[in-house]
Amino acid sequence: MFDGFLRSDPASTLQRLRGRVELTVKREAGRSRIDRLYQEGSAKARLPRTESDHLEAILINTGGGMTGGDRLHMRVGAGDGTSVVATSQAAEKIYRAVQGAALMETRLEVGAAARLDWLPQETILFQGGRFGRRLEADIAADGTLLIAESIVFGRTARGERVTEGGFADRWRIRRAGRLIFADAIRLDGDIDALLDRPALGGGGKAIAALLYVAADSHARLDEMRDAIARHPQVEGGASAWNGFLHLRLVSRTGFALRAALVDLLQILRGRPMPRAWMC
């Protein structure tokens, strides 16, 4: 689905953003600690001190946003018995593309009896922006993975509309080496008009997907449906099968979507959101 979508003019001499972070975490002295941290280009990671035994990583794009031809690669590995939460410093902004699309590639690995929460803040796609996102995860049979990704099409508080742009997203999730979840979406052209269609967005301008792979995923289904119902400005659904819980949300505003996400994620996590979300 990315063929052609990410293509750039080979003759271009424009400077492009490149960045990579690779973080792996190990269990040591009863706590989750850094095993290896690699940083390259515009991608950085900061690890604030926390009072709990989980490790918190804040991922930063020092480029201040992305545009056509930019590439970011993130890899986070939670070793056996560890607990890790990875988030972003702020919303990622996708600006008008002269050619090609910006690409974010994410690789998540969850070891035995480990937990990884992948909770980046929302992505904002501006008029003319083009953005591709690939996410792959490998989870041990008894590992726990929580993923939440959201994207807002234009600054909804200002009434912005994205009548020309592109967004492509692909997820592949494997547990114990077996593919358990695959999903893909592509919106190209007049995204505002596409999301007005009842079967796509029903007029919503901000969307989110949440995946929870855990032993108690099925038991949380009714709880999640009740939580969604508490947010009348958000439409959504939740399903549980094959050992995971999957939610989709859509709203007319990024603010309402974010409020619902915070509520749902705090319920599933049993703890407050990372501090970066509250800044």
Report the interhelical angle of 254-269 vs 221-229 (nearest 10°).
Answer: 150
CA atoms within 13 A on the CB side of 51: 3
Sequence-ordered alpha helix ranges (H) in the chain:
191-196, 221-229, 254-269
CB proximity list for 185: less than 8 A, separation 6 or greater = 167, 168, 169
> Structure tokens of 163?
């009548």
Residue 157 is which amino acid? A
DSSP code, position 275: G
Instruction: State the pLDDT at residue 10.
Output: 47
φ/ψ of residue 8, rounded to 5: -120, 165
Q: For residue 136, tell me if it sits in a domain.
A: yes
Measured CA to CA in angstroms, residue 130 lies from 36, 89, 227 at distances of 32, 21, 32
Instruction: State the pLDDT at residue 7.
Output: 59
Q: For residue 139, tell me if it sits in a domain.
A: yes
Instruction: State the pLDDT at residue 4.
Output: 59
Q: For residue 17, tell me if it sits in a domain.
A: no
Q: For residue 27, tell me if it sits in a domain.
A: no
Q: What is the pLDDT of residues 146-190, one digit of tens each?
A: 999 999 999 887 888 899 999 999 999 999 999 999 999 999 999
- Provide the 10 A C-beta neighbour count for residue 86: 24
Please, which pLDDT band fits residue 50 given cuts at 50, 70 and 90?
A: confident
Angle at 136 between CA 108 and CA 253, to 5 degrees: 95
Q: For residue 208, tell me if it sits in a domain.
A: yes
**Which domain does 110 fall in, by range?**
37-278
Q: Residue 142, exposed/middle/buried by CB under 10 A (0-12, 13-18, 19+)?
A: middle
Task: Please compute the mean of the pLDDT values over residues 44-67 and round it to a whole number.
Answer: 91
φ/ψ of residue 158, rounded to 5: -100, 5
Question: In this model, does residue 11 exceed pLDDT 50?
Answer: no
Number of separate domains in the chain: 1
* Percentage of the chain exceeding pLDDT 90: 83
Q: For residue 247, tell me if it sits in a domain.
A: yes
* Percentage of the chain exceeding pLDDT 70: 94
Instruction: State the pLDDT at residue 148.
Output: 98
Instruction: State the pLDDT at residue 278.
Output: 84
Angle at 119 between CA 162 and CA 48, to 5 degrees: 125
Residue 249 is which amino acid? L
- For the question of whether the overall pTM of this predicted structure is more than 0.85, the answer is yes
Q: What is the pLDDT of residues 105-127, one digit of tens each?
A: 999 999 999 999 999 999 999 99
Please, which pLDDT band fits residue 269 given cuts at 50, 70 and 90?
A: very high
> Structure tokens of 143?
């590992």
Please, which pLDDT band fits residue 27 given cuts at 50, 70 and 90?
A: very high
Instruction: State the pLDDT at residue 160.
Output: 84
CA distance 39 to 135: 19
Q: Which of 178, 156, 191, 151 is nearest to 244 (CA)?
A: 178
DSSP code, position 66: B
Instruction: State the pLDDT at residue 6.
Output: 58
Q: For residue 2, tell me if it sits in a domain.
A: no
Question: With the C-alpha atoms ordered 65, 68, 69, 73, is the resulting torsion angle positive or negative?
Answer: positive
Report the chain's mean pLDDT, rounded to a whole number: 93
Please, which pLDDT band fits residue 259 given cuts at 50, 70 and 90?
A: very high
Q: What is the pLDDT of residues 130-147, one digit of tens each?
A: 999 999 999 999 999 999
Instruction: State the pLDDT at residue 49.
Output: 84
Q: For residue 16, tell me if it sits in a domain.
A: no
Task: Please compute the mean of the pLDDT values over residues 54-76 and round it to a whole number.
Answer: 95
